[in-house]
Amino acid sequence: MAAEDHTRILVPVGESPTLRNAVAYAVRVAHDDAAERDGRATVHFVYPAVWRAFESTRAAKFERAEELLERVEVWAADDLEADETAVEIETAVVGADEYLFSPGDFARVLVNYARVHDLDRIVIDPEYQPGGNAPMLRPLEFELSQSGLAVEEAPVERPARRTRLVGRESLSQLLIVFGASYLFYLALGGFNTEPFELVTGAITAGIVAIVLSKIALKGPPNLREIPRQAARFALYVPYLLWEIAKANVAIAYVVLHPRLPIDPSIERFEAAVWGDMPATTLANSITLTPGTLTVDVSQREFYIHALTQSSREDLFEGALERAVRFVFYGRRAARIPSPRERAANREVDES
């Protein structure tokens, strides 16, 4: 059979309200193309992994991904009914051993899979969100279109969106932001227990929680992880203060030196952190450490102004990055190679 008689379609898969209809559309298109060409068709349903290799919940997430792919297979078989011989269904989980963060990362693993399996067409569920909850569909479609593959969005009906100010899933977000804001307000006032301070603090924290809870936290928080992260953060604060103190001494030496041995430069490195809170923590920690200043953060890319050679070396040694990973992801994450080691590994792979 000639290659042009074989239709090969790739469909990225993730939990969404329109996934069932997107599956039906992809299978129908594949079947119609196969019938028109008197050939065959294969539809690959691919689940890009959104977990990390060292996450404690990775096994459970992988199992849910496999269950979703099995459900997709059942749906596809139902849509094909008796004419299953014309269309083959393949499923796979991709990117489980990689670090997927930006739309470009997801596009890369999908395009690599498409090239390995000689796929020439991608059908995207209009409600698919590769990052889990961040709005990444449009940039993902753009990244995929740069590969030369035909990319189309499944023309399926989207459900009406009705959002409440506080829903069951967002209640935990609101309570956590309220508690943190209230505690911060009381701390600024020296933990004054006067009724006026307590009431105004509660009102202020309530306004902050209502306005910012869905911005500060993307999705329902993991209540089991919060106490562990808080304990690790308590260890991180004195470590950060020690790093700030050491950097202050180093910068004081540079300022007082007769030759003023500075070597300013803008450095770029890809940080192995993901999510708004870890990235913000790392960016602020770098800025708080004299000698380095976070200029810009774009996805995984950090642009840092380094004043001296020693501050530049400390940055690429990745001590602060490892500490932040420890706070948010645990001890296993702290053992990820430093930015310098990751850059060296990439050069070896490319050569």
Strand locations in 73-144 (E)? 87-94, 121-124
Tell me the residue type at 228.
Answer: R
Q: Are 42 and 7 in contact (CB under 8 A)?
A: yes
Mind listing the pLDDT tens digit for each residue in 86-96? 789 999 999 87
- Give residue limits of the domains in the chain: 3-153, 168-216, 225-350
Residues in the chain: 351
CA distances to 20, 29, 110 from 42, in Å: 18, 11, 16
pLDDT of residue 2: 46
Assess whether pLDDT exceeds 70 at residue 165.
no
95 phi/psi in degrees, rounded to 5: 80, 15
pLDDT of residue 232: 92
CA atoms within 13 A on the CB side of 90: 16
Assess whether pLDDT exceeds 80 at residue 319.
yes
Q: Are 157 and 21 in contact (CB under 8 A)?
A: yes
Q: What percent of the chain is predicted at pLDDT more than 90?
A: 32
Which one is predicted more confidently, 133 or 110? 110
Give exposure, 147-166, as e/b (b: 16+ Cβ within 10 Å).
Answer: bebebebbebeeeeeeeeee
End-to-end CA distance of the chain: 38
Q: Are 286 and 296 in contact (CB under 8 A)?
A: no
DSSP state of 337: P
What is d(CA 175, CA 177) in angstroms, rounded to the nearest whole number?
6
Which one is predicted more confidently, 88 or 175? 88
What is d(CA 331, CA 335) in angstroms, rounded to the nearest whole number?
7
* 278 closest CA partner among 234, 242, 338, 320: 320
* 110 closest CA partner among 144, 65, 137, 139: 144
Taking the CB of residue 17, how many other CB atoms lie within 10 A of it?
Answer: 13
- The chain-wide mean pLDDT, for the chain, equals 83
Tell me the residue type at 259.
Answer: R
Q: Are 45 and 23 in contact (CB under 8 A)?
A: yes
Mind listing the pLDDT tens digit for each residue in 204-251? 989 988 887 766 665 566 667 778 888 999 999 999 999 999 999 999
With cut-offs at 50, 70 and 90, classify the pLDDT of residue 329: confident
pLDDT of residue 189: 83
Which one is predicted more confidently, 159 or 22? 22
Question: Which architecture does CATH list for 3-153?
Answer: 3-Layer(aba) Sandwich (3.40)
Indicate the range of 115-129, 170-184, 334-348 predicted with least confidence.
334-348
Assess whether pLDDT exceeds 80 at residue 163.
no
Average of per-residue pLDDT across 192-215? 85
Strand locations in the chain (E)? 6-12, 40-48, 87-94, 121-124, 150-153, 265-270, 292-298, 301-306
Structure-token pair, residue 203: 């009102």
State how beta strands 87-94 and 121-124 pair. unpaired
Assess whether pLDDT exceeds 80 at residue 187.
yes
* 217 closest CA partner among 262, 256, 172: 172
CA distances to 7, 14, 120, 140 from 147, in Å: 18, 21, 10, 11
Give exposure, 34-55, as e/b (b: 16+ Cβ within 10 Å).
Answer: beeeebbbbbbbbbbbbbbeee
DSSP state of 83: -
pLDDT of residue 323: 93
Q: What percent of the chain is predicted at pLDDT more than 70?
A: 83
Q: Are 300 and 253 in contact (CB under 8 A)?
A: no
Which one is predicted more confidently, 85 or 267? 267
Indicate the range of 21-30, 160-169, 186-195 predicted with least confidence.
160-169
Average of per-residue pLDDT across 268-288? 85
pLDDT of residue 202: 92
